Amino acid sequence: MKVGIVGCGAIGSEVAKAASAMDGIEAVWLFDIDPDAAAHLRHLPRAHVAKTAGELVAKADLVIEAANKGVVQTVIRDALAAGKKTMLMTIGALADDALREELVGLAKKTGGKMYLPSGAVMGVDGVKAAAEADLKSVTLVTTKPPAGLDKKTDRWTLLFSGPAREAVQKFPKNVNVAATLSLAGLGFDQTHVQVAIDPLATRNSHKVIIEGGFGRARIEVENLPSPTNPATSYLASLSAIALLRRIVSPIEIGA
């Protein structure tokens, strides 16, 4: 498989390094609007730098977006129109119903596909499984240090409590987890989200509580930052790498 990565920041770089050493991947194509960011990874085994995003789409079998919503609207759209496999890191972009429906429609028409990694949260496989039979509620409680949300406070403060769709609008830089859980389970209007800041917190915390016909589950993760970018949870990069390995592997584990 030939893999293309659009966006060579913290996540894109970590995925590129893993992909270049992964069995089943014969080439890794890279593109970034900052040419130096892509060129910095040229030394990796099997790595090639594309001159344009269009060249990358033409060369790759799987196109990975590790940039922003604009790339989802353009490069991912082009890749799906060409019948390619894609992986999105900016999952919050799919809260835009019109965009999501357009991309899904393209994938159905051309045989393309969108893969969505679980990102900075655990338990997505459980939400997917529970959704097969009478899933009643999905709640996400996100707690971050004040700096993580550009706030200043000396006490624990609940900033938001409401549907995921509204959370996506209010916290555009912190919504990928809410979007992933919404798409896996009850949708953006029925998934409940709480966002809080805690001056005593040193890590980003995500707590997922699900109830349904299967019973009740509670999953909590405290994320360490990426070694190369303190604003990014390391688990987000690892989930993309794990999903890529799952795509190229002859065996799949989990829902």
pLDDT per position as a tens digit, 192-226: 999 999 999 989 899 999 999 999 999 999 998 78
Interhelix angle 234-248/10-19, rounded to 10 degrees, is 30
- Catalytic, out of 40, 43, 48, 206: 206
What stretch(es) of the chain map to CATH 3.30.360.10?
124-224
User: Yes or no: is domain 2-118+235-248 CATH 3.40.50.720?
Assistant: yes
Of 49, 58, 56, 101, nearest to 83 by C-alpha is: 58
Kindly report the CATH class assigned to 124-224.
alpha beta
pLDDT per position as a tens digit, 40-95: 999 999 999 999 999 999 999 999 999 999 999 999 999 999 999 999 999 999 99
pLDDT per position as a tens digit, 95-147: 999 999 999 999 999 999 999 999 999 999 999 999 999 999 999 999 998 88
Asked if 40 is an active-site residue, the reply is: no
What stretch(es) of the chain map to CATH 3.40.50.720?
2-118+235-248
Average pLDDT of the chain, as a whole number: 94
Q: For the whole model, what pTM was predicted? A: 0.94
| pLDDT value, residue 208 | 97
